[in-house]
Structure 1
């Protein structure tokens, strides 16, 4: 009996050692996968850091571009406001010239009695014709009167 008890104990130890070796092999394969995942994770983190740095540089460039656009837009708005004021002044001068031309045309009209059948349109035509005649005249230096 002692001999069979020794064999049973030795067999039990052998089975337990085989289970331990199998479990160690399983742990070894899991550790290899974990190491591989660690390397891929480090590579992914490195790529993420590189992408973050590129994005930060791009954001800095965009901020600089926005500053430049703001300055240019401000200058263009100022220029547009000045141009608008110049156009208003020129329109006012044009209105003054038209008023003076109208007065000149009215003064140049013959002092005959107005025809009763002639509507106001003929007076407007007369003003337009007088203004055209006035603009067709030339000064001695070649500029229109």
Structure 2
């Protein structure tokens, strides 16, 4: 975790920002809960436990700054709630997600599945792609298995 914080600190410095204590505690919460796709309110509640004097506006500003610097991505899984997801270090693109419409679970796909699609779009539409995201909505393995087990009873 310390290595990632150091890299993010350098990215902030390169963009003429400092890693303030408020930004650092927000980053630590994001890193500690990396697989949870937290909303701003979720981040705020977890940060407040560690840094009681922090305000919601400070957390929002920190999340927006980290999003602008492409340290994290703001995502929406169709439920109307913006969530935040740290970019993997060295990742050229945002990773993909599988969202279960039954239980709400979110699974990440780290592989970049759209390389060939990007080439086609760029050549056929003369469209320079700077990033992409892909979210599949469906029924997860666990829910599918539960339905099949119920049908067999």
Same fold by TM (over 0.5)?
no
Bigger strand share: 2
Q: TM-score, normalised by structure 2?
A: 0.22
- Structure with higher Rg: it is 1
Q: TM-score, normalised by structure 1?
A: 0.23
**Which of the pair has the greater relative contact order for Cα pairs under 8 Å at 6+ separation?**
2
